[in-house]
Each structure stands twice: as structure tokens, then as C-alpha cells.
């Protein structure tokens, strides 16, 4: 029982983090695009919209358990990309806060990788259209 509760709590935390990130993007798409542009990426508004919708897809995967391991793996790659793109070594000179943000991304990635390997939990997942008895839906 404690394993099910722990898995559910972790999934809710993952979903909550990405839901907040997506919400902030949707509420301030121009600001998000400006931040992306300041990091030197092309087509910042397009990238901001893509990031927001990607984060919504992650929320859905974490809440439903559908494609959970794949979503967790993609989220881990995304989080590390964000760490280097927006909080990497070029941002550290005289700024311990940026270094802290950079390191925090790695702890989040570790949790996502653990989740990717162990899955969404047997009782808590949609199983890609298959019923648990082995019959197709």
C-alpha cells in the first residue's frame, strides 16, 4: 500500500511541476519567448508554444500513467536541456543562485529517470488500450 501511495504522490508532484510551468508559459507567452530569445534560440515564440504544449502532454501522461515511462524519459532529457540552456556554466559567474537552479535540475532528472525505469505503478496506469486480463479493449 505504501508503494502505491508513494508512486501516486511522485506522479502528482511531477504533474504539478509541469502544470505550473505550462500555466506560467500560457499566462506570459511573450515573456517566455523573450527568455528563450535571450538564450539565443531562433523562433522563440514558436518554441515557447511548443514547450507549453509539451509540458501539458507530460502532465497528462503523469496523471493517467499512459506512456508514463516514455514521458518520464523525455521529461528527464528536457529538464537537463533546460538546465544547460538557461542555468548553465555561463550564468554562474558571481551568481550562486543560478548554480543552485542548475543543480536542482539534476535532482529532478534523477527522479524522472527513476520513474521511467520503475513505471507508473500497476494499479495506477492506463495500459495503452489493454485490459489487465489480457483482453484487448
Evaluate whether 17 touches 5 at the Cβ level (below 8 Å).
no
| Mean pLDDT value of segment 68-80 | 97
Answering whether pTM is above 0.95, one says no
* 22-30 contacts at long range (C-beta below 8 A, 24 or more positions apart): 22/52, 22/53, 22/55, 22/56, 22/59, 25/51, 25/52, 25/55, 26/52
How far apart CA 10 and CA 111 sit, in angstroms, is 9
pLDDT of residue 98: 87
What are the residues whose beta carbons fall under 8 Å from the beta carbon of 129, sequence distance 6 or more? 136, 137
Please state the domain extents for the chain.
Answer: 2-124
How far apart CA 5 and CA 90 sit, in angstroms, is 40
Least confident of 20-24, 54-58, 100-104: 100-104
State the average pLDDT for the chain.
Answer: 90
Residue 95 has pLDDT above 90, yes or no: no
pLDDT of residue 2: 84
Amino acid at each position: 500500500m505504501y508503494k502505491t501511495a508513494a508512486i501516486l504522490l511522485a506522479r502528482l508532484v511531477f504533474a504539478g511541476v509541469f502544470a505550473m510551468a505550462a500555466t506560467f508559459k500560457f499566462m506570459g507567452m511573450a515573456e517566455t519567448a523573450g527568455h528563450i530569445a535571450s538564450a539565443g534560440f531562433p523562433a522563440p515564440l514558436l518554441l515557447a508554444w511548443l514547450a507549453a504544449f509539451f509540458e501539458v502532454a507530460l502532465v497528462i501522461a503523469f496523471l493517467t500513467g499512459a506512456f508514463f515511462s516514455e514521458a518520464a524519459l523525455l521529461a528527464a532529457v528536457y529538464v537537463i536541456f533546460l538546465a544547460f540552456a538557461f542555468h548553465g556554466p555561463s550564468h554562474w559567474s558571481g551568481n550562486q543562485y543560478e548554480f543552485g537552479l542548475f543543480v536542482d535540475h539534476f535532482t529532478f532528472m534523477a527522479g524522472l529517470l527513476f520513474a521511467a525505469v520503475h513505471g507508473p505503478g500497476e494499479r495506477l496506469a492506463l495500459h495503452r488500450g489493454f485490459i489487465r486480463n489480457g483482453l484487448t479493449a
